[in-house]
């Protein structure tokens, strides 16, 4: 059981490192917190909560994976290589896709509360 708690602490260290080192993660966290606040304000349904929390988690998780991939690529090579840049771009593109989908989902969910 000691190994389980140790890996939990390592995961918390990863969260802290990601949050303090990544501006994008801070911005995405702020947007997520604003969205959660809007969910409380508008008293969204349980299903809507599940969807909102899922997409927030997806965006934040993908941002952390993107950060990990970028760090790993930098660790492997400090040279400017087209493949290294392509790998970083693809990882960033995954975050962008998830963010756009999260925005669309947010508009779909909150539109009815904001427009009447």
Give the three-class secondary structure for 39.
helix
CA distances from 25 to 61, 91, 95, 96, 101 (A): 9, 14, 11, 12, 17
Q: Do 48 and 36 form a contact (C-beta atoms < 8 A)?
A: no
- Could you list the active site residues? 63
Q: Determine how many CB atoms are found less than 10 A away from the CB of residue 106.
A: 19
Nearest to 36 by CA among 12, 59, 13: 59
Distance, in Å, from the CA atom of 28 to the CA atom of 44, rounded to the nearest integer, reads 21
């Amino acid at each position: 059981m000691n190994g389980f708690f140790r890996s939990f602490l390592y995961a918390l260290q990863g969260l802290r490192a990601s949050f303090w080192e990544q501006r994008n993660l801070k911005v995405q966290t702020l947007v997520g917190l604003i969205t959660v606040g809007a969910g409380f304000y508008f008293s969204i349904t349980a299903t809507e909560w599940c969807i909102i929390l899922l997409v927030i988690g997806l965006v934040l998780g993908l941002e952390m994976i993107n950060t990990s991939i970028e760090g790993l690529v930098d660790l492997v090579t400090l040279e400017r290589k087209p493949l290294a840049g392509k790998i970083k771009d693809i990882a960033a593109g995954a975050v962008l896709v998830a963010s756009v989908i999260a925005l669309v989902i947010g508009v779909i969910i909150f539109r009815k509360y904001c427009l009447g």
